[in-house]
Structure 1
Amino acid sequence: MPTHTENASFTDAWKEWHAAHERHRADPHGFLAVTHLHWLGGSATRLEGAPGTWSVDNDVVRVVLEPGETLQREGQELNGEDGASLVLGPIAERGGINLRSGDSVIELAKRGGEYIVRPRHPRNALLADYTGTPAYQPDPSYAVTGTFVPFPEPRPTTVGAAVEGIQHVYEAPGEIRFSLAGEDLTLTAFNGHAPGTLSVLFTDATSGKTTYAANRSLAVGQPGPDGTVLLDFNRAVNLPCAYTDLATCPLPPAENRLAVAIEAGEQTPFERSGTRELGASELQGASELQGAK
Structure 2
Amino acid sequence: MSFRSLLVHAQPGEGSKLRTEAAAALAIRLDALLIGLGAEAIPPIATTDPYGFGTGQWTPLLYEQQSRNLEAAKAAFAAQTEGAKTEWRSVGDLPTPAMARVARAVDLVVTGGPTGSGDIYNTASTAELLISSGRPMLVVPPHGGRLETRRIMVAWKDTREARRAVSDALSFMHMADEILIVALGPKEDQDALRAQAEDVAGMISRHSMARPRTHVAVSGADDVQVDLLSQADRMDADLIVSGAYGHSRAYEWVLGGVTRHLLHACERFVFLSH
Name the TM-score, length of structure 2 as normaliser: 0.25
Name the TM-score, length of structure 1 as normaliser: 0.24
Larger strand proportion of the pair: 1
